[in-house]
Chains A and B, each alone.
Chain A
Amino acid sequence: MPELVAEPMRKELDKAKRMQGDMLLSYFDALSKSGVTGTKIGYSFVMANPIELLATFDILPLFPEITSLNISYRGGAPPLIAQAEEVGYSTDACGYVKMGVASIMDKTKTSIGYIPKPDILFLSYSGCQIYIHWWEQYHYQTGAPIFTIDVPYLRDYDRHVPKHDIEYVAGQLEEMIPKLEAATGKRFNEDKLKEIVRLSGKAWDLWKECVEMGKLKPTPFDAYFESIYYMAPITFARGSQKCVDFYKFLLDELKLRAERGIGPTEREDYRLVFEGVPNYPFFKKFWGLFSHYNARCVASTYPKVAGLVDTGSFRLNPEKPIESIAEYMIHAYCNWNMPVRTHLIERYVKDYRADAVVIHSIKSCRSFSMGQGDIREYLAKELDVPTLLVESDHVDPRYYSEAQMKNRIDAFFETLALRKNRSQIN
């Protein structure tokens, strides 16, 4: 059994992860103290949240997706899932929903501490239908009001967004301002919003530069397994100077790695594109199954759930804060239709000079996973791109079979090796 840990990097060039961890800890700390500080907690989604508007009113967003994945990463998912299933939630329901609901049941302490209940539920309906149902569960569980922003799905196959979609989203954001004033007792400050939007835009620009470092050969970072750490601040800290500083630091670190030829594996033997949500309970083991083959991920879709930063689809503009937030909200990865998603992966394979695609399909999230078989069919059969599709779950360890997963991945790399040898001979 090979060592399943991918950490050959020198510690001095792997500091951004720690920095992200510290930011996350202080964010969790602020959440846990909200009862004392009187800060309003606004439950929000990772995809398409108008965090800039919330921050203008000093509302602290809580992302149950982020708390749940962190609980799961620290092995704390099973008791919460069991608690939810005991009261009637189905094994077929999303693990995030079950964990979220259970984590605020009375006297529940999670592996990251107590999770505060919501004061407001911000329903940004973009890319995931279960968002609606999840927030309804919370609404009936806690009585917190739901503030809705309906974000139309990208329906056009050439990525065109109809004008009425943007007007609709922007109109709803405008309508939400008086509601936020009433809920917080604070007056809307447009200058404050513009400044937050400006900082947000800077962070997006830097994050874009970071993700595009994967185009270098060899890539200085793993654009899937390491991005899982790097992608968090763009969601929970966006709109702050701290967030900008983090992405500056990360970009510098990645540039230094590139200069010195250092990366997350000893060598770069394979360049992969990754599609799908990771497996958090076995995250490092799962990563190890790829790093063992000196495979590095050069581009991935999952870090784009917070915003399709590298597609030129949106740009936050302080002069048009509401409209640009509306545009951003439409371009969350799962809010794109399947053919457009598929073509993005195809583009990644070409632009990032990848050898293969790996799809990790998870039972919990039909939004991400339904139809990934079709992506595989297209890539493998029509483009001749080696594509592996494996299934498990992002939080529920019951759906992960390590031996089976390892067999599939080993077999895939055997095929890739043969293919590589053949192409070298030819």
Chain B
Amino acid sequence: METLSFKSSFAQAAEDSYTNFDTVKEWKRETGGLALGYFPVYFPEELPHSLGILPVGLYGASGGVALDMATAHTQSFVCSITRSVFQMALQGNLDVFDGLIFSNICDVARNLSGITKRNLQKRYVDYIHLPINNNSSYATKYLNDEYLRVSAALEKLVGKKLETRQLAKSIRAYNERRRLQLELVNLRRSKPWLLDYTEWYSIMRSGSIMPVEHYVDQLQRYVSELAAKDAKAMDRIRVAVVGNFCEQPPLMLMKVIEDAGCYIINDEGLLGSRWLGNVETKGDPLFSLAQAYVQNAEPLTVRFHPDINKQSYIANFVRNIKADGVIFLTPKFCEPALYDYMIYKSTLDEIKMPYLHLEYEESSSSFEHIRTMVETFAESILFD
């Protein structure tokens, strides 16, 4: 994919990724290419990218659309991101996408794929079943075949064949994106005072919509500048936020948490974009991409892996990142997050790590009670 002439700032691109997708429209105008929208949490963006299709994450409208149409088709007890993405599909915000793709992160997202297909019958709508029996000797072969199936559908959509060399090149581009994002993750953990959550978030979110080469180019410069920056640390507690891997919390909520006396040293926002880590590009790149998913032993709430022990993972994780406390930030009605909360909290109780559980919806707008809770939480740790 060619580097584009237009320059889009992180903040502008992030803004475009909620409801208007102008960055995508502009890219399509300039290149004549196709775009594919994918529902979180993880999607192998390399597949469409290698065919010249722009992959774009659909992380919800965050209150930017009324949910009247979606409400008729979905239940009142489903999460907001599902309803806002479906609303956008019905009212036309997603018309810019030539295809939409989902995966098995939860029952709600899974059924969303089906009702989206029924309502957008002429559009390419697909669903990847990512394996969960990841210590089975059949898992990688299965996922390799599944990626081949999806690639064949994308090839049909775009009218060209996937080439191994091109796929390896795409993997290298996304490897670089993941490497830089992880560098930023580490920088935030070591010096959280260097950037606030709003800035961090616009960088991560813009990565879900910007063409990867352009994004990597800007991110590289940003990370070097940030690493050289100096700022004064404040007297705040270091908290790890857990649970916001799919539906995105309102930025104001994150600001409230910061203002109440916390440095968010880690969170799961847009986790799927960096979670895979580095993928081998020698040999068969498609197989390597599948293998990287199957072998990745880092927990992802929406993905089961028989070899992962979540209890020892969370204990080691909070110790390694030197967290003072954990804030479980779970979207309303998000069952996967609610069940992991139960597993993690029992371990935190054992290791005496303070934690707080908060719920949100992407369109929440009142946070006064949350401010009080977080202030109390932070003070109880600061003055312990």
Contacts and interface: CB of A to CB of B under 8 A. Distances in A.
Q: Do A and B come from one complex?
A: yes
Interface of A: 87-90, 92-94, 97, 123, 125, 128-130, 132-134, 136-137, 140, 146, 148-150, 152-153, 155, 157, 162, 164-165, 167-168, 171-172, 175, 334, 337-342, 361, 363, 365-367, 369-374, 377-378, 391
A172 B346 contact: no
Contacts of B345: 88
B200 interface: no
B114 A339 contact: yes
Q: Which 3 A-B pairs have the closest CB atoms?
A: A338-B114, A164-B145, A133-B339
Given A97-B339, A162-B145, A366-B78, A152 B129 contact: yes
Contacts of A129: 104-107, 110, 302, 335-336
Nearest to B334: A92
Contact of B132 (A148, A155, A373): A148
12 contacts: A92-B77, A92-B338, A129-B106, A136-B343, A150-B132, A153-B104, A162-B146, A167-B138, A167-B142, A337-B113, A371-B115, A373-B73
Contacts of A365: 107
A172 B108 contact: no
Contact of A153 (B76, B127, B136): B127
Question: Which has the most chain A C-beta neighbours within 10 Å: B340, B342, B346?
Answer: B342
A401 B104 CA distance: 33
A131 to B, nearest CB: 9
Given A148-B133, A374-B73, 7 more contacts: A89-B338, A125-B304, A339-B117, A366-B78, A370-B108, A373-B74, A377-B73
Contacts of A341: 114
B132 A370 contact: no
Contact of A369 (B75, B113, B129, B346): B75
Interface in B134-160: 136-139, 141-142, 145-146, 149
A391 B75 contact: yes
Residue among B110, B136, B336 facing the most chain A CB atoms (10 A cut-off): B110
Contact of B138 (A175, A340, A374): A175
B118 A374 contact: yes
Interface string B35-72: 00000000000000000000000000000000000011
Given A136-B343, A148-B306, A371-B112, A378 B118 contact: yes
Interface of B: 71-78, 82, 104-108, 110-115, 117-119, 126-129, 131-133, 136-139, 141-142, 145-146, 149, 302, 304, 306, 310-311, 332-333, 335-336, 338-343, 345-346
Nearest to A125: B132
Given A153-B127, A366-B106, A168 B339 contact: no
A371 B132 contact: no
Given A361-B75, A363-B77, A366-B108, A150 B133 contact: yes
A418 B339 CA distance: 47
A88 B106 CA distance: 21
A109 to B, nearest CB: 23
A377 B70 CA distance: 11
A290 to B, nearest CB: 22
A87 B141 CA distance: 41
B339 A92 contact: no
Given A88-B342, A92-B333, A361-B75, A172 B110 contact: no
Given A94-B335, A129-B107, A370-B111, A136 B142 contact: no
Contacts of B71: 373
A118 to B, nearest CB: 16
A93 B339 contact: yes
Contacts of A134: 339
B75 A373 contact: yes
Contacts of A137: 339, 342-343
Given A338-B114, A371-B115, A172 B132 contact: no
A89 B132 contact: no
Nearest to A337: B114
B119 A146 contact: no
Contacts of A165: 129, 142
A338 B339 contact: no
B146 A175 contact: no
Given A373-B73, A377-B72, A153 B118 contact: no
Contacts of B74: 370-371, 373-374
B335 A89 contact: no
A164 B146 contact: yes
Nearest to A94: B335
A125 B113 CA distance: 18
Contacts of A171: 136-138
A366 B77 contact: yes
A172 B336 contact: no
A148 B304 contact: yes
Contacts of B146: 152, 162, 164
A162 B149 contact: yes
Given A129-B106, A148-B306, A149-B133, A371 B73 contact: yes
B221 to A, nearest CB: 40
Nearest to B125: A157
Nearest to B305: A148
Contacts of A88: 341-342, 345
B107 A89 contact: no
A192 B136 CA distance: 25
A313 to B, nearest CB: 17
A367 to B, nearest CB: 4
Given A133-B335, A172-B133, A371-B115, A89 B342 contact: yes
B229 to A, nearest CB: 41
A366 B77 CA distance: 8
B47 to A, nearest CB: 15
A149 B133 CA distance: 7
A152 B333 CA distance: 24
Given A363-B77, A374-B115, A130 B107 contact: yes
Contacts of A157: 117
Contacts of B108: 366, 370
A342 to B, nearest CB: 7
Contacts of B126: 155
B171 to A, nearest CB: 22
Contacts of A373: 71-75
Contacts of A94: 335
Contacts of B114: 337-341, 371
Given A150-B136, A172-B133, A373-B74, A140 B106 contact: no
Contacts of B346: 140
Contacts of A150: 131-133, 136, 139
Contacts of B128: 155
A140 B343 contact: yes
Contacts of A369: 75, 77
Contacts of B76: 391
Contacts of B110: 129, 153, 337, 367
B104 A93 contact: no
A96 to B, nearest CB: 12
A340 B113 CA distance: 12
B30 to A, nearest CB: 33
A413 B314 CA distance: 54
